[in-house]
Amino acid sequence: MCGIVGYCGSKPASDILLEGLRRLEYRGYDSAGICVGTESGFRIIKRKGKIKDLKSIVPDKPFGVNGIGHTRWATHGGVTDENAHPHTDCSGKISIVHNGIIENYMQIKERLLAKGHIFKSETDTEVIAHLIEDLYAGDITLAVREAVNHIKGTYGIVVMHNDHKGTLVGARNGSPLILGVGENEMFIASDVNAMISYTKQVVYLEDGEIITITPDGYRISDLYDKKINKAVNEVDWEFESFEKGNFDHFMLKEIFEQKESVARGMLGRLNLDHATGHLGGLNMTSRELLSIERVIIVAAGTSYHAGLVAAYLIESVARIPAGAELASELRYRNPIIEKNALYFVVSQSGETADTLYAMRELKRKGAKVLGICNVVGSTIARETDGGVYIHSGPEIAVASTKAFTSQLTALYIFTLLIARMRNMSFEAGSDFVRQMQALPSIIDKALLKADEIKKLADKYSVAKDFLFLGRGINYPVALEGALKLKEISYIHAEGFSAAEIKHGPIALINEETPSLFLVPDDRLREKIISNMKEVKARRGKVIAITVEGDSEVAQIADDIITVPHVEEYMYPFVMIIPLQLFAYYTALKLGRDVDQPRNLAKSVTVE
Ligand code: G6P
């Protein structure tokens, strides 16, 4: 949610900032801007629209040696040129970019208005610029420190002052900020993507920390100016993974990457000799794992759907009561923490505010909380008691795809581990390991249906509403399929348990509202076939994602897409592939902005 980048060094800053913003654009993309320090003062260029729109008004010849940039996802104030960041104070000497929400900005603004400050935008961010101006007495770091002591809310900010050329000051509370350490140059950004092509040496800032950077050094301190020494970490993501390669969109690339990303998530984690799983980062002894009496998975969006699948699996296979909860709801529910309950927070970005705050609340209450994250060094990954990285590589498209199957991979391995400690036999464990090891090639086969799915998507793209129906472990997959379609095609889509349609949703069925059924060859197949017939009887169109060779389903449905046969619990990995492709091709047919759908952002760092 909002991307921030700052640079100081000797390279042309305007280029580095624009390139950094391009790589951060998935965080927010309604307006963007840069402020570049030049000999004659600040040069601020900003406008509503995407980075390409901003680029079109920035001079081709690169300029400046330091600066800050921002790509916005609006919270306070509409999407206008004036509300785009960077924002300045009255003197025009202070410039700031901000990610987050300042809760007490109205009180501060009133005070500053009374003192004669003149505001140019409706944003909460501009208030910080004026507050710093008010407090400034020659030391910009000190002024920023005093200012953040006055503000309530969440922020990741980077500030420049024209009298301190070559210096940037950053501060964070609740919104990520990462320092990139280069050779005689420094970067500061909300995400490593912005700097990965220049440096892999990073320092993760924590809440309550303030950093001052110059091309040849940095100083981190707390809110009382106590110096903090922090480790420099090396990021292991490759530069190429941030590019689209031969694909038209990041989303398509990421869908096709799943055969590799799922395999990567299993590397070194499945042990056929002992028929079990191994997850080094859990930081739990076998005794502690054995004493787990409940597993609760907390997440948002797609990660929540992965949690629902995993909860089903944990209960069925490991025979431990399990459930998944929406982080946004759990946080405000005052949950009861059972002594031997284990909590997982699942988050691709590791920065989702709802999930982060739920995790902190759980920890405050004494819960044992583990993380399942993709972004290494993200706030959730750092603050949990232990956890697992899913290693799916950078996910850039706003609609999450490969993270879902990688989250499942990690949670399935965890399930195997705890199931083997309980009721699962060696033979059953070996079977489970083999089934998992077969997944990458099965996903590869499911991907071969892309062209067929494209035709189907073209045919149904006229629909205004869609139902996605599944049962058992595939019910959350139906929810995820519906979420994908609405996110990127803007077609209204709802996911339900196929059994539930008779309790209400069937009222929506008519010739114009297609239903997409997930029909694996499992225990519930017959029941789902009955539900399909109920829809057909009401002249509803039926698409079935079914198993190769199922002629009965093929006869009932109007259209089918087949997937390879797998054992019951492995179906979510296979069923999700056609649903992701269906959403992608529908959005493509409708001419939508697939990677950056309207109103959405990838990393939602506000509540
Ligand atoms: C946003 C994204 C979704 C994502 C959700 C949770 O809403 O648009 O794609 O599933 O956040 O994100 P997380 O990073 O916590 O998995």
Instruction: Give the per-residue pLDDT at 402.
Output: 98
Instruction: Give the per-residue pLDDT at 240.
Output: 63
Three-state SS at 577: helix
Instruction: Give the per-residue pLDDT at 25.
Output: 85
CA of 237: how far to CAs of 243, 349, 451, 510, in Å? 12, 14, 31, 48
Instruction: Give the per-residue pLDDT at 27.
Output: 78
The answer to whether 176 touches 379, Cβ cutoff 8 Å, is yes
Residue 302 CA, ligand 1 centroid: distance in Å: 6
Instruction: Give the per-residue pLDDT at 239.
Output: 64
- Is the CB of 349 within 6 Å of ligand 1? yes
CA of 235: how far to CAs of 7, 195, 567, in Å? 18, 11, 37
Distance CA(206)–CA(210), nearest Å, equals: 9
pTM of the model: 0.87
Residue 377 CA, ligand 1 centroid: distance in Å: 17
Distance CA(282)–CA(263), nearest Å, equals: 20
Nearest residue (by CA) to ligand 1, atom 7, is: 301
- Is the CB of 398 within 6 Å of ligand 1? yes
- Is the CB of 303 within 6 Å of ligand 1? yes
- Is the CB of 302 within 6 Å of ligand 1? yes
- Is the CB of 347 within 6 Å of ligand 1? yes
The answer to whether 470 touches 497, Cβ cutoff 8 Å, is yes
Which of 46, 62, 37 has the alpha carbon at shortest distance from 168? 37
Q: Tokens representing 323?
A: 């459930």
Q: Tokens representing 359?
A: 């995790």
- Is the CB of 600 within 6 Å of ligand 1? yes
Q: Which residues are catalytic?
A: 2, 602
Nearest residue (by CA) to ligand 1, atom 5, is: 301
Query: What residue ranges of the chain have pLDDT lower than 70?
Result: 239-240
What does the angle CA 486 – CA 123 – CA 211 come to, to the nearest 5 degrees?
100
Residue 601 CA, ligand 1 centroid: distance in Å: 8
Positive or negative torsion for Cα 262, 263, 268, 269: positive
The 3-state secondary structure of 37-71 reads EECCEEEEEEEECCHHHHHCCCCCCCCCCEEEEEE
Residue 362 CA, ligand 1 centroid: distance in Å: 20
Instruction: Give the per-residue pLDDT at 22.
Output: 92
The full DSSP string for 264-281 is HHHTTTEETTTTEE--GG
